[in-house]
Structure 1
Amino acid sequence: MFLGDFYPRMDEKGRIALPAKFRDRLGAGMVITKGQDRCLYVYPQTEFERMADRLSRTSSTAATRNYMRQFFGGADDQTPDKQGRVVVKQALREYAALDRECAVIGVNNRVEIWDAVAWCEFTEAQEQQFVEFSEDLLAPE
């Protein structure tokens, strides 16, 4: 499980250091792809393969095909270097508007990479919905 938020800087070559606590699960290989809300999703290779298998068993509607094109077409498999860094390819950096200041967020079975300012704006905008959803989800039975 991936938990927590971290704020690494991306270097001029598009490399970002992953948090040390995430490296064990991602060190054997990972896939970086477009996520929702203009962030990037980072999956361990095994989790990405599990999702690919699940998607391949869905019905072939236009919406499914289009989703798969976005999800797989922009994907990039990576293995971190000895310092735990990965290169985020240019197209993915542009998609997520990544510059120097980044936010790396643990989200259960995946990691998300955000522009740090965009992440702060997103969390502020979602605060009330988070509170309301928490009240419903965690209400006593």
Structure 2
Amino acid sequence: MDDQLMADVQTTSPAPQTVQGTAAPTLPPLLLGTYTPKIDSKGRLALPAKLRSQLGPGLIMARGQERCVYLLPQAEFRRIAMQIQRTSLGDKAARDYLRVFLSGAVDQEPDKQGRVLVPQMLRDYANLGTDVVVIGVGTRAEIWNSKAWEEYLAAQEQGYADMADDVLPAVGF
């Protein structure tokens, strides 16, 4: 990793916080919920206030899986990109993923009304029209075409119960 990139990571990484006398890393925001804002005729999306405060003053939009758009706080985006880059030189799949992921990523800063421009490239990728759904998914949010989200959620409903047996024991729930 070059010195400038390492310096950028060090200056943008959250500082450790002291918890009962021990240094612990700052946890990223926990993005939750389902919201139904609209995309206006200029391609702007009014971010839900709660998500806006958690995403911070600047955020990254990128191609997501299943044809959605990821919204990531800058620090989380850097963490993901760096993690992929660590493996990408020797792993063709990681190189390919990194190329697609980073080439479709844009940094955005909400305007005074809390709106961000969703670039045409990302609107086309996720088939985003006026009606969208924004969901919180832990360390990121996702923007979905409303109809695609409804179909995805309906298709996952039975599997959701079945997946619990596999996923929840792994997290000690």
Tell whether 2:97 aligns with 1:67.
Answer: yes
In the alignment, what sits opposite 2:38? Answer: 9
Which amino acid in 1 is paired with 2:34?
A: D
> CA shift at 1:27, angstroms?
3.0
Please give the TM-score of this superposition, normalised by the length of structure 1.
Answer: 0.94
Higher RCO by CA contacts (8 Å cutoff, separation 6 or greater): 1
What residue ranges of structure 2 are gaps of 5+ in the alignment?
1-29
Distance in 1 of aligned mates of 2:100 and 2:143? 17
CA RMSD of aligned residues (A): 1.5
The within-5 A match list for 1:1-141 is 1-60=30-89, 61-138=91-168
Which ranges of 4 or more aligned residues in structure 1 deviate by more than 6 Å? none
Distance 1:56 1:37 in 2: 22
Query: Which one has the largest radius of gyration?
Result: 2
Any idea what the Cα deviations from partners look like across 1:76-117, whole Å, max 9, x if unmatched? 100111111100000100000000000000000000000011
After TM superposition, give the deviation of residue 136 of structure 1 in Å.
3.8
2:157 and 2:101 mapped to 1: Cα distance? 28
The secondary structure found in structure 1 opposite 2:163 is helix
For each residue in 1:29-63, what CA deviation from the matched residue of structure 2 results, as whole angstroms up to 9, or x when unmatched? Answer: 11000000000111000111111111121142221
Give the whole-Å Cα distance in 2 for the aligned partners of 1:53 and 1:132.
Answer: 33
Q: Structure 1 residues 81 and 66, CA, compared in 2 at 3 Å: closer, same or farther?
A: same
Q: 1:59 to 1:70 in 2, by over 3 A?
A: closer
How many pairs were matched up? 141
Offset of residue 65 of structure 1: 1.2
Aligned-pair identity (%)? 50
Deviates more, 1:23-32 or 1:125-134: 23-32
* Contact 1:7 1:102 (C-alpha < 8 Å) held by counterparts: yes
The structure-2 alpha-carbon separation of the partners of 1:132 and 1:76, relative to structure 1 and needing over 3 Å to count, comes to: same
